[in-house]
Structure 1
Amino acid sequence: MLDFLRKQAQSTLIQAVVIIIAVVFVFWGGSSSLRGHRTSLASINGEEISPQEFQRAYEQAIDGLQQQFGGKLPPGFAEQLGIKQQVLYRLIQAELLRQGGDQVGITISDLPVQERVAEMNVFQENGTFNLQKYKDVLSQNRMTPVSFEKGLKSDLRTERVRELIGSFAAVSDNEATRWLAYNGEEIKLAYVKLDPASFEAQVKTDETNTKELAAWFEKNKDRYRSEPKIRLKYLLFKQSDDEKQVQIADADLKAKYEQDKERYRQPEERHARHILLQVKKDAPAASRAEKKKLAEEVLAQAKANNADFAALAKQYSDDASNKEQGGDLGFFSAGRMVPAFDAAVFAMQVGEISGPVETEFGYHLIKLEEVKPETVRSFEQVKASIAVELQQQQVKSLTFKRAAAAYEEIMRAGSLDKYSQQGKGQVAVADYFSRKELPAELPKDPKLAEAVFSLKKGELSNIIELGDSCAVLFADDLKEPELPKLEAVQDKVTADWKKEKAAELAAKAAADLLAASREKKALQSANGAAVLTTEFLKRSATGKDAPPSPVLEEAFKLAWKEKLPTKPVQAENAWFVYEVKERKAGAGKIEEQARQQLLASAQHNLLSAWLGSLQSQAKIRINEDLLK
């Protein structure tokens, strides 16, 4: 594996015009199906991705998109982007990275996980990690410390894998010089833009081309096929209608507090500093003994009169994460550190210095700075949050019970219509609508749209739980997609046909202009189209004076002796003919920032190659039924 990495690291030319540090990897091809195997969504070398794991990742992706769109997504937007497929690709990629990390021997201990948790601002109060806040935040997000830290450990291992694979990448001086010449090259262009819109006036729509228009419509009529539509009958049960019925008594709040009292317990916390003399696990005995001797010498200095432990940590500690803070570990509770370290700290007195304490990381010298005794937040402190929690739970439960009772009545009545006729509920009707045109009275929830358009004609849904309501749906009628007659869409068809014919005229005009320019060995002017001349431009140039990037790309591909291309360039719904007026070779001294960009690109390419190797050897199976 390492020989493979070394070979892959020696690239011939790194194209770093735009550096993208994201591994884009398609796993779909070549994967066999798990159709009919209902217990997992995918399997990678026998390691399964469960539907629950996929659902959590999918919901996180949807939440992120909703935040970008102000809390709402356009109907069908997630499907158009293929979010489900993207989420699955990421999960498969993460599992391949994890398995690859196992192959190269990367493991993560509990200590870096604990340190990462302690550094997160969301779990801190007044700049210090707070265990109770940690538990509360995770609880609010339906997670436990065990599951959260397991995921965090996986993320840290992925980081280590990326760092390890990236460490094999290198950029030689010759490669950097070649990139400088490539990226620093400049050209000055003259070009003509032939916009189809300017040719539309030449396209006549009269009796002479009626047959041509009809033939064009017949060839392209699927473009005008209507979307499927549904006429929906439904019952909507809103939580807001039940809020006034729920009153939480103080006795209930007190009982809930007593029941969950452990949630409000803040265990004893200790504030310590340490000096780490790091020893690798596979270090020889002589090296280990040398480090221990150094630890004992530093310990003697630390215990000397008026010794500054923080200053000694800055001088000697190998723990880069807190060395500059004088080895400060902040406050932490029992069980947060590795066992030997944890046992030592919680057996010390304030001001005491202990060590050397041996752990898997090496030898630690520890100073206990402060102790916070165990506390329990009082009922009055948490009463308001308990009230909100119980209110939400009971209102949601009450709303669901109303929906469930109505559903049972519908079953007894035999249909939603008979249920309505008995006067037991107000059934609403939404006339024919498509997925893209949801009625305003329906909740704008992706789950609702998904449920509506999964129904068959005459089918009653289960109870659909939405964010703040429940719904029961009935597909009263369906309209399948229809192909319209030409007369029904005449105006739109005529407009589309004119645009296509104008585009053909623009393409012909561009070809004729290029032929004339090549004959004259210089760019000629076109009827009604101005010849624009740029300043010197680099490959990545943008702005109102620069032509579209595809034009620049083609211009830079021309041999230095060539001035004119062999064919026009199509970009931004127009055609371009250009001439290279002048060129400047790239030169100069490679800057450190550019070198780092090159290195980042090399690391990205190497990681992609490594993942490609893992994927080609992996057995990846996907349950396509569960992905629908």
Structure 2
Amino acid sequence: MISWMQKHKKYLVITIWISTIAFVGAGFVGWGAYKYGSSGDTMVEVGDTKITIKEFQNKYSQLYNYYNKLLGGNLDQQKAKEMGIDKAAFDALIKEALLINYAKDHGLMVTDEEVAKKIASMQVFQRDGHFEKELYINVLKQNHMRPKDFEQSIKKELLLEKIKAVFKPKLLPLEFDTASAALFMGDKIAYKPLTSNDINISYTQKELKNYYNEHKDNYQTPTHYKLAVVEVTPQDVTIDDTKLQEYYQAHRIQYKDSSGKIMKFEDAKPLVERDYKLKLAKKEALKKYITLKKGKIKPQKSIEVTDTNTTLPPTFMEKLKLAQSGKVFKPIIIGEKYLIIKLDNKKLPQPMSFEEAKALVQKDFEKEQRSKKLIETAQKLAKTFKGIEINSFICRDDVNKIKALESTEAATFLKKLFTQKEGEGFVQLSDEKVVLYRILDQKLHMPKKIDKNRALITDNTIKLKELLESQRILNILQKLYEIKVYKGI
């Protein structure tokens, strides 16, 4: 996922607060010659709109958190830099500023009443379905935001929504018909799955050793870490419900059920009690951290882990990889206790001998050989294979009709099938699997499918028009409004 993103940085322009997806997703348009200068905390001035360092930090934080969640919490600052998240945040703010200038010049505005109505409608600020000011203040405080700044961001969001509505294109009948034909043409096909398990290969030990010699840098022992550990467990004390309820109200946004809704206190109580006890234990954990760092206490135990360890958080493992021996880390929560960890020793990866790596080498070599031979076999069989015939016309959404494949495989197969230029050939699903196909008949117009998916076709075609039109509009706006960059990235 990360490597894909690094190669496709133009797709990283996503906004969290703002719903102007079509404009922001258009890719950076190259703003021409920047004018550099100095103006306090202002990073960029676009026409009459200033972009502050704080706004950039907020936008960067939104994007970082979005992709960190997408990547399962495995994003760090270095990877974020490689992905170009800072550049994406910078570009998005400039695009938004261009649109805001245009909106203001054409008399568009957002009233305080509209801002209040929007905020009052947000579930996170509601209790029992009604807006509660005290909860509003507490949630913002928990997220280190002032009401004034948050309300300004909502005003900006609403203004951008209004200007987006102005630019929203209409769909012409001919455009709908063209999109319908592209999305829902029908094919009658014959198909046959072919996997690497159907392929026989043979090789000599010499070939295996040659493969090892060519790829020996891939076969290294893992990094070993010897860690000294001090544990701090919360005291088993009874906590008054009043204190738990106060803690819950201040942190209720953290307690959500599987559907994403905020849990009631009664349902969240075990989690709240655990977190409250951990809060009480944090002070003691920090004391132990300082005394361990000064060498005044001895560790309770010693453990050894490798860089493939999954018991410690990924974010901690990233820090561990960069640390030097003797480093003492601040307390981290594991389960229901704090761990204070000191890196005693680090043993770096060492090259594995052929014998040590043989099982891994054999697995990789066989996989590569089977994959190559699979493609060769598919090319030979494409014109002559006998497969499963589907005698009714199918479209790209008829996943359930491709019964010889799993649903996800069938969806990928159909998506790729309807982009093929040849009447027969194969679709590669992975290194281990291909699907041979032959188109027996075609139908350009599928009325029932089109009627059933009319809303989908309309929505997707309008979004495509928005994307194309937004690029044209942004090109015009950057000529209308001067962009002065005071602090670049």
TM-score computed with the length of structure 2 as normaliser: 0.67
The whole-number CA distance in structure 2 between the counterparts of 1:62 and 1:540 is 29
Deviation of 1:599 (Å): 2.0
Q: Which amino acid aligns with 1:98?
A: E
RMSD between aligned residues: 4.7
CA contact (8 A) 2:45 2:51 kept: yes
Q: Which amino acid aligns with 1:404?
A: I
Distance change (3 Å), C-alpha of 1:581 and 1:219: same
Partner SS, residue 211 of structure 2: helix
> Which position in structure 1 is the counterpart of 2:101?
103
Structure 1, residues 82-129: CA drift from partner, whole Å, max 9, x if none?
567476466335413431223213443322111112223343445443
Q: 1:461 aligns with which of 307, 328, 339?
A: 328
> Which position in structure 1 is the counterpart of 2:389?
533
Structure 1, residues 558-614: CA drift from partner, whole Å, max 9, x if none?
67xx7445xx44233333433211111216497552334422332244335656887
Corresponding position: 1:231 with 2:94: no
For this pair of structures, how many residues does the alignment match?
Answer: 412
> Which region of structure 1 is more displaced relative to structure 2, 464-473 or 210-219?
464-473
Aligned pairs (5 A) from 1:466-545: 472-514=340-382, 517=383, 524-525=384-385, 531-534=387-390, 535-543=392-400, 544-545=402-403
CA contact (8 A) 2:285 2:331 kept: no
> Which position in structure 2 is the counterpart of 1:195?
195
The whole-number CA distance in structure 1 between the counterparts of 2:140 and 2:209 is 63
CA contact (8 A) 2:115 2:151 kept: yes
Deviation of 1:395 (Å): 4.7
Deviation of 1:140 (Å): 4.0
Partner SS, residue 373 of structure 2: helix
Aligned pairs (5 A) from 1:77-226: 77-78=74-75, 85=83, 88=86, 91-92=89-90, 94-106=92-104, 107-125=109-127, 127-165=129-167, 167=168, 169-199=169-199, 202-205=200-203, 209-226=204-221
Q: Which amino acid aligns with 1:47?
A: I
Structure 1, residues 246-274: CA drift from partner, whole Å, max 9, x if none?
999x9xx9xxx9xxxxx9xxxxxxxxxxx
Structure 1, residues 513-540: CA drift from partner, whole Å, max 9, x if none?
24xx3xxxxxx23xxxx51212311134
Distance change (3 Å), C-alpha of 1:90 and 1:119: farther
> Which position in structure 1 is the counterpart of 2:443?
584
Partner SS, residue 437 of structure 1: coil
CA contact (8 A) 1:187 1:536 kept: yes
Deviation of 1:210 (Å): 1.5
Partner SS, residue 536 of structure 1: strand
Q: 2:434 aligns with which of 565, 568, 575?
A: 575
The whole-number CA distance in structure 2 between the counterparts of 1:459 and 1:538 is 62
Structure number with larger C-alpha Rg: 1
Distance change (3 Å), C-alpha of 1:52 and 1:82: same
Q: Which amino acid aligns with 1:95?
A: L
Stretches of structure 2 lacking an aligned partner (at least 5 in a row): 1-19, 34-39, 251-272
Q: Which amino acid aligns with 1:595?
A: T
Distance change (3 Å), C-alpha of 1:126 and 1:198: closer
Distance change (3 Å), C-alpha of 1:123 and 1:89: same
CA contact (8 A) 1:197 1:499 kept: no
Partner SS, residue 151 of structure 2: helix
Partner SS, residue 453 of structure 1: helix
Q: Which amino acid aligns with 1:112?
A: E
Deviation of 1:226 (Å): 3.6
> Which position in structure 1 is the counterpart of 2:58?
53
Q: Which amino acid aligns with 1:172?
A: L
Distance change (3 Å), C-alpha of 1:578 and 1:135: closer
The whole-number CA distance in structure 2 between the counterparts of 1:226 and 1:30 is 48
Deviation of 1:77 (Å): 3.0
CA contact (8 A) 1:184 1:586 kept: yes
Partner SS, residue 352 of structure 2: coil
Aligned pairs (5 A) from 1:246-395: 395=281
Deviation of 1:427 (Å): 4.6
The whole-number CA distance in structure 2 between the counterparts of 1:586 and 1:103 is 45
Partner SS, residue 583 of structure 1: strand
Deviation of 1:186 (Å): 0.8
CA contact (8 A) 1:31 1:622 kept: no
CA contact (8 A) 1:31 1:620 kept: no
Q: Which amino acid aligns with 1:607?
A: S
CA contact (8 A) 2:224 2:304 kept: no
> Which region of structure 1 is more displaced relative to structure 2, 543-552 or 531-540?
543-552
Q: Which amino acid aligns with 1:575?
A: V
Distance change (3 Å), C-alpha of 1:603 and 1:570: same
TM-score computed with the length of structure 1 as normaliser: 0.54
The whole-number CA distance in structure 1 between the counterparts of 2:227 and 2:278 is 29
Distance change (3 Å), C-alpha of 1:401 and 1:574: closer
Distance change (3 Å), C-alpha of 1:392 and 1:218: closer
Deviation of 1:215 (Å): 0.9
Q: Which amino acid aligns with 2:445?
A: G
Q: 1:449 aligns with which of 314, 317, 340?
A: 317
Partner SS, residue 78 of structure 1: coil
Deviation of 1:236 (Å): 4.1
Partner SS, residue 194 of structure 1: strand
Q: Which amino acid aligns with 2:201?
A: V
Distance change (3 Å), C-alpha of 1:469 and 1:163: farther
Aligned pairs (5 A) from 1:548-563: 548=410, 552=414, 556=418, 563=423
The whole-number CA distance in structure 1 between the counterparts of 2:192 and 2:58 is 54
Distance change (3 Å), C-alpha of 1:606 and 1:469: farther
Deviation of 1:496 (Å): 2.3
CA contact (8 A) 1:189 1:533 kept: yes
Distance change (3 Å), C-alpha of 1:473 and 1:563: closer
The whole-number CA distance in structure 2 between the counterparts of 1:393 and 1:550 is 48
Deviation of 1:455 (Å): 0.7
The whole-number CA distance in structure 2 between the counterparts of 1:500 and 1:44 is 54
